[in-house]
């Protein structure tokens, strides 16, 4: 509360006055000034803060590129219809907003606010408060599975099914706090960039990440995935932007540049935001990415997030003065398919699409690195027949085991049944290495990770090694 | 410099008037669609589940008879009509659409064992255990007249008495002769009061007869001496005989492949044979747990229906060794006869509990006229199920059928017994000299010999 603003300067100095009557009257008036200044200051909190800058914005587009959602850091949310340039809904939430994303269409959107993410209606009514997610830093929506994924300040990854409301998975990444999260549109895998330079890829049905790659020498600042599923771009504090091939997990290109945010367009153009400029790289045949366009905004202003608008040649840029969009020829898909995404949808078409999407909702188990593996035939196990030599060796070992001289125990402890049992155990022990050998012959990996079998201990420590069973 | 940027005007992409169709634009690029296979698999799973939700095969029951239904007859010229006869001599003509009796033909003094219609639909032939063959003029036109529906009685146009009880009858497809069987096979001309020809091979009763739809002179009979006999009318004696280990209750020719026929056997299996090669069955159709009483082919020739003593009706694919569908009801007792209607959509079963039951041949089919979009959707879902039917989740749902407890238990018992037998056979073979035990395929196992 800023009372000084309303007090219009300092109060009169009444000590210098000799006139007691005047002094009395003026002191009453000063008191009134003080009270009215306080009251005015109290009323101020009912007014919208008009700093001119409502914090850096986060933006999100629907999958057909028609609606855009902006959420400012200071809590200003607005949804716009970009086709007719209509402001659909604008309101304040009066707390920090860290990320915004649309759900399956413009009817619902999720906002990561100060303590928890909330889900709002297109009218701006708060529908759900997702307490389980905690303090979410980034949100991503997987549209085919209807899963809302969030990463929170403790480094926990949550997956929640927004159609049934069930929390599908919640994993501790174990790599600390990170706010770099991106969903791969090709296979719905979530990629996280960590402070150690690692990029991990997650799916909702496994506790451990699918892939862990060491990408940079310092923290990763941005990650982006290409729609085709083959390329990933990462940027780090080490002033490098690397483009990776996701099949071989190798670097295709490396640029000495900084990037605050990265985004791939539908046609494969890569936008990087860097200080007060935006650079756009294009693939001129054969994954050969070269600089295509550069856009500078007014000096002094920093560019935050960049996001391509689907099905249009437009790149949305968030900077410290607000939001602007630039034309990038060749970045959007010119021919849309009515049954996939229709930028000019009617209400009926939208309703039908929602119903069909719900009917075709994929279970979370279908998320995998290679989505084409479903319904393929597993290669048959090649069982190598035990060679005769191994069989002979096994038989010899069994014979030897049967003929071992066993000590005869006295005092009634050598019962025939016990002796027979001991003999059987010895035979089984003799057979065991041969059986283990045959297990290893299968192509499948050994489920139990036997550590320490091939570790060569230094000489000084060999006395502590577990001796193999004689 | 001209720079090309996407600019779409809404006029091009939206319709002008509300009575126009919506504009549809396609781009088949797979890059626009992610995880296609997973989506298709989910759709196949949903299609399998929906099929089970909509599976309501029982349409209705036709009641009127007061004794078990012994046999039925149908005619290709009249889709709505079916004749049925019962064990007390009552013959009725039913209108399947209304499920009511149109006309009754009283006269027989005992069970009617054989019922058949002539190819042009005017004549109905019935024969029974009272040693008579009765010919009736069928008032087919009466079906059109809805007001005159009450069971009207007709008089037979001819009654022929013969020496022995009859067990079955069938009419030639292309001619006007019909055959009846009992102690021997008799060929009749409808104008003559005595059979024009008789065949006999052995002294045993002949139980059922069927004329070959492809060649009007060939017919096959099954006898109580466990045999299947082929006759050619142009020859003076029977042509071929096949002796099996158990008796065949009924035989039916495949209307689309007239050299093949399927026989419904007492040992709960159906055997499909090629009439030119009787030494080996083409396919053995297993599934029933008790004797198979009757068999009929669909007009498409691609599937057939069997009714069995174990109170179920099963539908088999003509090449399938296991049934594709099984129908049962608590109220349906021993099924004595089954017939596929001539449009291939329905099947009629006549059973011990004096009712005829009407079933759909495809349990989840939507009857009536389908809109083109509905039809396309159905075809797509059928194609999805076909493509993914080998995957465990989808297979489990598609295969699942609820069986009545006695049949489930009987089937398990049979399976245990058969597995035990085959395991013992395998062990015997393993422990005997190689080649001393002949491997006999199941298709041959139940055949004893073929006699010329």
For B8-50, the pLDDT digits (tens) are 999 999 999 999 999 999 999 988 999 999 999 999 999 999 9
Mean pLDDT by 10 residues, chain A (470 residues): 78 86 92 89 67 79 95 93 93 94 95 96 95 95 96 95 95 92 95 95 95 94 94 94 94 92 94 93 87 89 92 93 91 94 93 96 94 84 69 87 86 89 90 76 54 66 71
pLDDT of residue A11: 82
CA A130, CA A119: separation in Å to the nearest integer? Answer: 8
Q: Do B5 and A229 touch (CB under 8 A)?
A: no
Contacts of B41 in chain A (CB under 8 A): 366, 374-375
For residue A393, what are the contacts with CB-CB under 8 A and spacing of at least 6? A434
CA B199, CA A448: separation in Å to the nearest integer? Answer: 76
Count of pairs with CB atoms under 8 A, one residue in A, one in B:
90
Percent of chain B with pLDDT over 70: 97
Check pLDDT > 90 for residue B272. Answer: yes
Check pLDDT > 50 for residue B151. Answer: no
**Tens-digit pLDDT profile for residues B295-341:** 999 999 999 999 999 999 999 999 999 999 999 999 999 999 999 99
Helix (H) or strand (E) holding B392: helix B392-399
pLDDT of residue A461: 82
CA B195, CA B64: separation in Å to the nearest integer? Answer: 33
Phi-psi map region of A143: left, alpha, beta (phi>0 left; psi -120 to 50 alpha): alpha
Q: Is residue B381 part of a domain?
A: no
CA B294, CA B143: separation in Å to the nearest integer? Answer: 27
Phi-psi map region of B273: left, alpha, beta (phi>0 left; psi -120 to 50 alpha): beta
Q: Do A360 and B42 touch (CB under 8 A)?
A: yes
Secondary structure class of B380 (helix, strand, coil): helix
Percentages helix, strand, coil for chain B (3-state, rounded to 5) are 20, 35, 45
**Tens-digit pLDDT profile for residues B75-123:** 888 889 999 999 999 999 999 999 999 889 998 999 999 999 998 888 8
Q: Do B38 and A362 touch (CB under 8 A)?
A: yes
pTM of the predicted structure, to 2 decimals: 0.82
pLDDT of residue B438: 82
Secondary structure class of B336 (helix, strand, coil): strand
* ipTM given for this complex: 0.81
Q: Higher-confidence residue: B176 or A361?
A: A361
Cβ contact A266:A303 at 8 Å: no
Per the structure, the count of domains in chain B is 1
- The C-alpha of B31 sits at a distance from chain A's nearest C-alpha, in angstroms, of 6
Q: Give mean pLDDT, residues B279-287.
A: 93
Burial of A189 (0-12, 13-18, 19+ CB in 10 A): buried
Q: Is some CB atom of chain B closer than 8 A to the CB atom of A362?
A: yes
As a whole number of Å, the end-to-end CA separation of chain B is 94
Burial of A420 (0-12, 13-18, 19+ CB in 10 A): exposed
Percent of chain B with pLDDT over 90: 75
Check pLDDT > 70 for residue B147. Answer: no
The two tokens of residue B312 are 């179920």
Q: Which of B1, B2, B4, B5 to mutate to test the interface with A (most CBs of A within 10 A)?
A: B5
- Residue of B26, B29, B146 lying closest to B95 (CA atoms): B146
CA A378, CA A212: separation in Å to the nearest integer? Answer: 26
Cβ contact B180:B203 at 8 Å: no
Q: Which of residues 295-314 of A touch B (CB under 8 A)?
A: 311-313
Q: Is residue B398 part of a domain?
A: no
Q: Do B39 and A362 touch (CB under 8 A)?
A: yes
pLDDT of residue B446: 84
Cα B350–Cα B355–Cα B359 angle in degrees, nearest 5? 65
The two tokens of residue A247 are 């099949």
Q: Which of A329, A333, A372 sits opposite B5 (nearest CB)?
A: A329
Closest residue in A to B29 (Cα–Cα): A337
Q: Do B27 and A329 touch (CB under 8 A)?
A: no
Check pLDDT > 80 for residue B265. Answer: yes
CA A279, CA B106: separation in Å to the nearest integer? Answer: 96
Contacts of B38 in chain A (CB under 8 A): 144, 362, 366, 371, 374
Domain boundaries, chain A: 57-371
Q: Is some CB atom of chain A closer than 8 A to the CB atom of B376?
A: no
pLDDT of residue A85: 92
pLDDT of residue B131: 93
Contacts of A188 in chain B (CB under 8 A): 34-35
Contacts of B42 in chain A (CB under 8 A): 360-363, 366
Q: Do A362 and B8 touch (CB under 8 A)?
A: no
Range of the domain at B110: 58-364
C-alpha to C-alpha distances, A461 to A236, A456, A465, B294, nearest whole angstrom: 41, 10, 7, 83
Cβ contact B185:B221 at 8 Å: yes
Q: Is some CB atom of chain B closer than 8 A to the CB atom of A372?
A: yes
CATH homologous superfamily of A57-371: YVTN repeat-like/Quinoprotein amine dehydrogenase (2.130.10.10)
Q: Is residue B403 part of a domain?
A: no
pLDDT of residue A454: 53
Contacts of B16 in chain A (CB under 8 A): none
Buried b (16+ CB within 10 A) or exposed e, A39-55: eebeeeeeeeeeeeebb
Cβ contact A130:A147 at 8 Å: no
pLDDT of residue B384: 95
CA A284, CA B369: separation in Å to the nearest integer? Answer: 55
**Tally: H helices and E strands in chain B:** 6, 30
Q: What is the CATH number of the domain that holds B140?
A: 2.130.10.10
């Amino acid at each position: 509360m800023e009372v000084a603003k309303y007090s219009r300067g300092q109060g009169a100095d009444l000590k210098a006055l000799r006139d007691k009557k005047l002094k009395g009257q003026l002191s009453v008036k000063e008191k009134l000034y003080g009270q009215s200044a306080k009251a005015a200051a109290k009323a101020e909190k009912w007014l919208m803060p008009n700093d001119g800058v409502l914090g850096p914005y986060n933006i999100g587009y629907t999958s057909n590129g028609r609606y855009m959602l902006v959420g400012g850091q200071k809590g200003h949310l607005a949804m716009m219809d970009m086709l007719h340039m209509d402001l659909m809904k604008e309101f304040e939430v009066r707390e920090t907003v860290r990320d915004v994303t649309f759900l399956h269409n413009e009817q619902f959107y999720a906002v990561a606010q100060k303590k928890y993410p909330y889900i709002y209606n297109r009218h701006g009514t708060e529908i759900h408060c997702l307490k389980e997610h905690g303090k979410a830093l980034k949100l991503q929506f997987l549209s085919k599975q209807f899963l809302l994924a969030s990463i929170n300040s403790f480094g926990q990854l949550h997956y929640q099914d927004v159609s049934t409301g069930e929390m599908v998975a919640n994993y501790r990444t174990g790599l600390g706090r990170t706010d770099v999260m991106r969903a791969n549109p090709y296979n719905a895998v979530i990629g996280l960039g960590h402070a150690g330079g690692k990029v991990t890829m997650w799916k909702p049905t496994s506790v451990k990440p699918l892939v862990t790659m060491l990408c940079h020498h310092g923290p990763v600042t941005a990650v982006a995935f290409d729609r085709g599923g083959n390329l990933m771009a990462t940027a780090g504090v080490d002033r490098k932007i690397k483009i990776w091939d996701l099949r071989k997990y190798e670097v295709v290109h490396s640029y000495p540049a900084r990037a605050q945010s990265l985004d791939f367009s539908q046609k494969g153009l890569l936008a990087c935001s860097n200080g007060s400029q935006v650079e756009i790289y294009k693939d001129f045949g054969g994954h050969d990415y070269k600089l295509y366009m550069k856009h500078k905004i007014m000096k002094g202003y920093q560019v935050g997030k960049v996001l391509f608008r689907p099905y249009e040649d437009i790149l949305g840029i968030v900077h410290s003065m607000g939001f602007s969009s630039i034309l990038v020829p060749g970045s959007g898909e010119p021919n849309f398919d009515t049954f996939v995404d229709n930028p000019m949808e009617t209400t009926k078409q939208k309703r039908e699409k929602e119903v069909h999407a719900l009917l075709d909702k994929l279970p979370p188990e279908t998320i995998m690195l290679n989505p084409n593996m479903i319904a393929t035939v597993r290669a048959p196990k090649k069982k190598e027949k035990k060679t005769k030599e191994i069989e002979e060796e096994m038989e010899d070992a069994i014979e030897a085991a049967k003929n071992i001289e066993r000590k005869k125990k006295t005092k009634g402890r050598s019962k025939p049944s016990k002796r027979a049992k001991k003999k059987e155990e010895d035979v089984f022990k003799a057979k065991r290495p041969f059986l283990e050998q045959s297990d290893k012959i299968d192509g499948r990996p050994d489920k139990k990770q036997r550590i320490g079998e091939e570790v060569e201990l230094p000489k000084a420590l060999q006395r502590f090694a577990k001796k193999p069973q004689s | 410099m001209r720079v090309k940027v996407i600019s779409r005007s809404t006029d091009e992409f939206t319709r002008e008037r509300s009575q126009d169709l919506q504009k549809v634009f396609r781009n088949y690029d797979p890059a626009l669609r992610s995880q296609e296979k997973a989506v298709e698999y989910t759709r196949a799973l949903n299609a399998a589940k929906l099929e089970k939700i909509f599976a309501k095969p029982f349409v209705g029951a036709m009641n009127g008879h007061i004794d078990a239904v012994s046999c039925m007859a149908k005619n290709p010229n009249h889709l709505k009509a079916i004749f049925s006869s019962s064990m007390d001599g009552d013959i009725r003509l039913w209108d399947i659409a209304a499920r009511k009796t149109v006309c009754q033909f009283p006269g027989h003094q005992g069970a009617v064992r054989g019922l058949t219609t002539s190819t042009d639909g005017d004549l109905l032939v019935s024969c029974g255990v009272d040693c008579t063959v009765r010919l009736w003029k069928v008032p087919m036109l009466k079906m059109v007249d809805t007001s005159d529906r009450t069971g009207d009685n007709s008089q037979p146009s001819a009654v022929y008495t013969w020496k022995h009880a009859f067990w079955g009858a069938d009419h030639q497809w292309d001619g006007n002769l019909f055959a009846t069987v009992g102690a021997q096979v008799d060929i009749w001309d409808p104008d003559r009061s005595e059979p024009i020809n008789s065949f006999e091979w052995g002294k045993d009763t002949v139980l059922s007869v069927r004329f070959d739809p492809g060649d009007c002179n060939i017919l096959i009979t099954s006898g109580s001496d466990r045999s299947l006999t082929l006759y050619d009318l142009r020859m003076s004696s029977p042509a071929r005989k096949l002796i099996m280990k158990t008796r065949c209750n009924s035989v039916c020719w495949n209307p689309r492949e007239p050299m093949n026929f399927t026989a419904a056997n007492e040992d709960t299996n159906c055997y499909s044979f090629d009439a030119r090669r009787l030494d080996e069955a083409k396919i053995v159709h297993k599934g029933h747990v008790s004797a198979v009483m009757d068999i009929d082919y669909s007009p498409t020739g691609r599937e057939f229906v069997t009714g069995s003593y174990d109170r179920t009706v099963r539908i088999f694919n003509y090449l399938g060794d296991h049934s594709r569908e099984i129908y049962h009801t608590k109220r349906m007792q021993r099924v004595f006869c089954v017939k596929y209607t001539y449009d291939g959509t329905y099947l009629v079963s006549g059973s011990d509990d004096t009712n005829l039951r009407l079933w759909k041949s495809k349990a989840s089919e939507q009857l009536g006229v389908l809109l083109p979009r509905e039809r396309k959707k159905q075809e797509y879902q059928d194609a999805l199920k076909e493509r993914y039917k080998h995957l465990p989740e989808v297979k489990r749902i598609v295969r699942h059928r609820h069986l009545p407890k006695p049949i489930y238990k009987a089937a398990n018992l049979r399976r245990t017994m058969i597995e035990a037998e085959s395991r013992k056979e395998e062990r015997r073979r393993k422990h005997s000299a190689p080649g001393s035990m002949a491997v006999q395929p199941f298709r041959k196992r139940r055949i004893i010999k073929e006699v010329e």
